[in-house]
Structure 1
Amino acid sequence: MEKITKIQAIKKIILNNGGIADWSTIYTQIENYYPRAKISADWKEGLRGVLYRDKEIVKYSTGVFGLKNKQTWIIPCNIKKYDIEAAFCDNHTIDWTQNKSLLNLSIGDIIYIYVGGQIRNIPYKCEALEVNVKNQIDDTQFMLDRNFFEGDKNYFRIKLIKKMNTPDLSFEKLKANGLNGNCQGPQTIKNNLLKYIEEKAEICDEQLLLTNNEKHELCKISEEELEYYCNMSDLKSGYKETESLSRIRLVDKRIVEKLKNLYKGQCQLCGACVGLEFGENIVEAHHLEYFSISQNNDSSNIIIVCPNCHRIIHKCNFKFDREQMLFCNKTGQEIKITNPGHLKK
């Protein structure tokens, strides 16, 4: 079990009970998070003491508590000093320097990480898991400028929620919607800018970021088998889904459903609407650049095809030529895309 403090345990209870908890709930559940909570005879007084001293906990009524309204932040990342992409590939949870401008950061706060330089965009949405972390995750291999990280520093722990890639979260768009300054330091976001970022983050395609262990796990699965499970609406009885494959299917479903609705069940290759006469649209998603190699789950790497065309692509080893917008195999046979739609340049 992860070691946390008594007050962190109380906050977890509040969060896991819909953001509000009374003394009875706290007393009952505290040992689930802090096993040593009831060792002393005056354990209840101890819980009351740490709760009343914490500034993040508010009292709604007699014996009923909640957490202060959560904040949303933009925090810049200098990729010349820290390789954040590689860090997230190693572990979806990382520690971040908690400087003076982040003293008000709380557990549960949402953090959008802005990457400057040539990227000038927000690629990551995260959540704060812990503040004032004592046992820091060893990520020295991702520190590109060791001198920058020297000295005593405080840290908070964040977990990646979503990786994104959309021009709607570029610096220019953020600035036009109320961003202050050049995003050179942490800042809370509110009002129009908060609404804009949340809307764009919600509707944009999620870029699946697998850890290195998950990538190794997927290498054991063929591309055809991988796409088969991604396209299934339900898993076969008895099939145990790995965590990485489960996340792929979750993300794939969101993107694929948008594309299926866009083409109304019509194959982008042959134009057929399989099952239409029976009131069903039977189409599938195919990754143009094999996902097992690229881990690219963006809509620009997905085409909607009927089951027949999908089987032919795999069984006859057709590869996609994006320049010509067609599939071809080693014998020179070609399958043209009749409706390029979202794939147009």
Structure 2
Amino acid sequence: MTIEAGIFTNLKPQNSKLITFGFQKKDNFFEYTTNIPETNFAVIIIVNATGEVTGKIIDTDYHAEYTNFRVENNLGSFAASIKEKYVALLQNIAKNCFSYAPTTTGAKWLVPANPNYFDLEKAFSENETIIWKQTTHIKENDVVYLYVTAPVSAIIYKCLVVKVNQSYPYRDKNIAMKYVMHIHLMTKYDKQAYTLETLKKYGVTSVRGPRYVPDTLGALLK
């Protein structure tokens, strides 16, 4: 897997954000060029019409492509430094110009969230990716629908599971955790869209713990 594929898998470019970041619209792709500080290297990043990201580093002194940073093992200190700066640039582009849009997803889960214990609205306003208690057998690329309990009593958030089984020993008067997962906000629903009364029509009479989403409800939420 390339460096670019490892960062941009399951991500979709937002064209307006690419322009704001500094990308130039070409015939059927976007191009971004910048320099690596304190070097004679220039970086060119291309986002094509299908959203695929490619990049290259050019040695401006010799007008040749520099590829040593792509060596899998035994990087020298200079090549390692260039790779670190290149990866940081890609991660910044991913954060500012792309959104999660997985081509495939796994199982769909309905997970309760008590608003008295945790302020999800505040958490997601600060960061679209948050940690959440690891439960049952949820895996990466599963979809989690967070059901906010009373007084809301509705599904409010659709999230993609991007990392699982992260050690996080924690205990307070409300919750005990050994592991957490990282979930990324994909959609926020109106509070009246998927209330408990609506869920009951699809066989969900209560949400006391994590459970699979019934197929009929999953089709509605999708």
Output the TM-score relative to the length of structure 1.
0.34
Higher helix share: 1
State the one-letter code of the partner of 1:158.
Answer: I
Give how far 1:36 is off. 9.5
State the one-letter code of the partner of 2:175.
Answer: F
For the Cα contact (< 8 Å) 1:75–1:186, is it kept in 2? yes
- Report the equivalent of 1:120: 153
Give how far 1:86 is off. 1.4
- Report the equivalent of 2:164: 131
Percent of pairs with identical residues: 26
Higher relative contact order (CA 8 A, sep 6+): 2
- Report the equivalent of 2:175: 149
Say what the alpha-carbon RMSD is for the aligned residues: 3.5
CA distance in 1 between partners of 2:71 and 2:165 (Å):
21
- Report the equivalent of 2:9: 16
Name the CA shift for 1:37/1:184 in 2 (closer, same or farther; >3 Å). farther
Work out whether 1:96 is the aligned partner of 2:120.
no
- Report the equivalent of 1:194: 218
CA distance in 2 between partners of 1:38 and 1:17 (Å):
26
- Residues 15-54 of structure 1 deviation map (CA, whole Å, 9 limit, x = unaligned): 9389xxxxxxxxxxxxxxxx89645xxxxxxxxxxxxxxx
CA distance in 2 between partners of 1:17 and 1:127 (Å):
10
For the Cα contact (< 8 Å) 2:159–2:186, is it kept in 1? yes
- Residues 140-190 of structure 1 deviation map (CA, whole Å, 9 limit, x = unaligned): 9xxxx932235x5110000111111052301011111122x4101011113
For the Cα contact (< 8 Å) 2:203–2:214, is it kept in 1? no
Give how far 1:129 is off. 0.9
CA distance in 2 between partners of 1:160 and 1:17 (Å):
13
State the one-letter code of the partner of 1:165.
Answer: D
Q: 5+ residue gaps in structure 2?
A: 12-69, 75-103
Higher strand share: 2
CA distance in 2 between partners of 1:191 and 1:153 (Å):
30
Output the TM-score relative to the length of structure 2.
0.51
- Report the equivalent of 1:182: 206
Task: State the aligned residue count.
Answer: 135
- Report the equivalent of 1:109: 142
- Report the equivalent of 1:172: 197
- Report the equivalent of 1:71: 107
- Residues 179-236 of structure 1 deviation map (CA, whole Å, 9 limit, x = unaligned): 2x410101111321211222xxxxxxxxxxxxxxxxxxxxxxxxxxxxxxxxxxxxxx
Name the CA shift for 1:17/1:122 in 2 (closer, same or farther; >3 Å). closer
CA distance in 2 between partners of 1:128 and 1:17 (Å):
11
Give how far 1:134 is off. 3.8
- In structure 1, the residue corresponding to 2:174 is in which secondary structure? helix
Superposed, 1:271-290 pairs within 5 Å as none
State the one-letter code of the partner of 1:121.
Answer: A
Larger Rg over CA atoms: 1
State the one-letter code of the partner of 1:147.
Answer: K
For the Cα contact (< 8 Å) 1:177–1:196, is it kept in 2? no
- Report the equivalent of 1:83: 119
